[in-house]
Amino acid sequence: MPIQVFSETAPLKTVLLHRPGRELEHLVPGTMGRLLFDDIPYLAGAQEEHDRFAALLRENGVSVKYLTELMAEALAHRPDLRTAFLRTFIQESGPIAKGYENSLLQYLLGLGDNQAMIQAMVAGVRLADLGRDVGRQLPALLHREAQFLLDPIPNLYFTRDPFAAIGRGASVHRMFSETRARETLFGDFILRHHPDFAGQVPLYYSRQAPFSLEGGDILNLSARVLAVGASERTMPEAIEDLAQHIFADPNAAIETILVLDIPGVRAYMHLDTVFTQVDRDTFVIHPGILPAMSAVTLERGGKNGLRIREQTQPLDRVLARLLELPQPAKLLFCGGQDAIAAQREQWNDGANTLCLSPGVVVTYDRNQVTNRLLEDNGIRVLSIPSSELSRGRGGPRCMSMPLVREAQM
């Protein structure tokens, strides 16, 4: 089965990652804000930390797939689509890239194997990379060789966001920021053309949709319940359209979509930056979000095919009812009861946990208060270093896209 994710906590079997590459070295102070970074990571350190993350997953029985490898395999399977894919990528890279389209196309095709080509697309291409024979003299004369014709894609190591596994289907997303729009080209191509996925995965959302939707806002709470955050980066209209497509699939097991509305600010950019599941009945949550969070459920029926109900009970009771728990869900506060620790550790991805199996999670080691609280409540914490990875504003969940978990219907 190419995709099977019915839970946030069922044993993780297969995951998609992207190992950071030269795209991080192509961040500079003048562009890092536009490229959604608050600082410039040290590549060797980021790779060492990411390799430790991947090794930890393998040590716990998880098969690790890499995005660039799957993309190269998909292109090898469909070589007839290679040039068309490159042209689309170049055309979506902005007006300067379109002005050099033929030169960029020749350069990328000339790199040889698909893996090298994909890595160059992610790292970014400068004018100097094309050499002198580009049909233009003035840019080189004015020393513009360092100008990027294809911007780097430094956020790609956050594989959670461009698409999401939902049951045995997937949603391919329209990203909130144009900076990340090209990331979805890779996931879309893999799902449509890789031999392991093509024709086997129903798609519930499209990257051409008008409303932004990102994977960090999507949590598979159970086979029957999907949580989606209305956040800075996911629009209510997108959630409504996603729900209609899921409910239109007769094979989809989802009966209820729990919409959690959170403030649209960068610190809480996605639902999973403030709320993740760590066991069947236990969640870690940023305490500062609770007063501002509201909940709505979507079900089949009603106007336009959706029955919408506002939820007035506290979140722990809403979760207990939807997940059929015998008592209110346990909400553990990121940072504990200390207001300063809560703010600091939420900012450093303390709530952004990746569950490997019920009660076993991967976290960043820097979030000591939250990690200790998890352990005190019976959660096994597997921590990884994050001095460089966390500069991109994302934690272990952000850096991973589960493709297969054990079925727990």
The C-alpha atoms of residue 167 and residue 158 are separated, in whole angstroms, by: 21
pLDDT of residue 19: 97
- Give me the mean pLDDT over the 113-128 stretch: 93
Residue among 5, 46, 398, 401 flagged as catalytic: 398
Give CA torsion, residues 129, 132, 137, 141, to 10 deg. 70
Contact 5/142 with Cβ under 8 angstroms?
A: no
Residue 188 has pLDDT above 80, yes or no: yes
**Claim to verify: residue 126 and residue 194 sit in the same structural domain:** no
Please state whether beta strands 148-150 and 163-166 pair in parallel, antiparallel, or not at all (unpaired): unpaired
pLDDT of residue 139: 61
**Claim to verify: residue 185 and residue 289 sit in the same structural domain:** yes
Any domain includes 140: yes
How confident is the model over 240-289, as pLDDT tens digits? 999 999 999 999 999 999 999 998 777 788 999 999 999 999 999 999 89
pLDDT bucket at 383, cuts 50 / 70 / 90: very high
**Claim to verify: residue 304 and residue 396 sit in the same structural domain:** yes
pLDDT of residue 409: 47
- Give me the mean pLDDT over the 143-157 stretch: 82
pLDDT of residue 147: 78
**Claim to verify: residue 164 and residue 300 sit in the same structural domain:** yes
pTM: 0.94
Nearest to 396 by CA among 1, 11, 15, 5: 15
φ and ψ at 160, to 5 degrees? -65, -30
Q: Where are the alpha helices (DSSP H) in 171-314?
A: 183-193, 236-247
Nearest to 271 by CA among 351, 207, 206, 167: 351
Any domain includes 123: yes
How confident is the model over 39-89, as pLDDT tens digits? 899 999 999 999 999 999 999 999 999 999 999 999 999 999 999 999 999
Domain end (from 121, 150, 179): 150
- Give me the mean pLDDT over the 224-230 stretch: 97
Residue-level length of the chain: 409
Write out 55-80 in H/E/C secondary structure: HHHHHCCCEEEEHHHHHHHHHHHCHH
What range defines the domain where residue 311 resides? 12-35+154-405
pLDDT of residue 362: 98
- For the chain, the average pLDDT equals 93
**Claim to verify: residue 241 and residue 312 sit in the same structural domain:** yes
Any domain includes 40: no
The C-alpha atoms of residue 124 and residue 150 are separated, in whole angstroms, by: 5
- Give me the mean pLDDT over the 30-34 stretch: 85
CA angle 240, 245, 249 (to 5 degrees): 145
Tokens for 321? 């009812």
- Known catalytic membership, residue 334: no
- Give me the mean pLDDT over the 113-124 stretch: 95
Q: How many domains does the chain have?
A: 2
Contact 73/79 with Cβ under 8 angstroms?
A: no
Contact 258/227 with Cβ under 8 angstroms?
A: yes
pLDDT of residue 90: 95
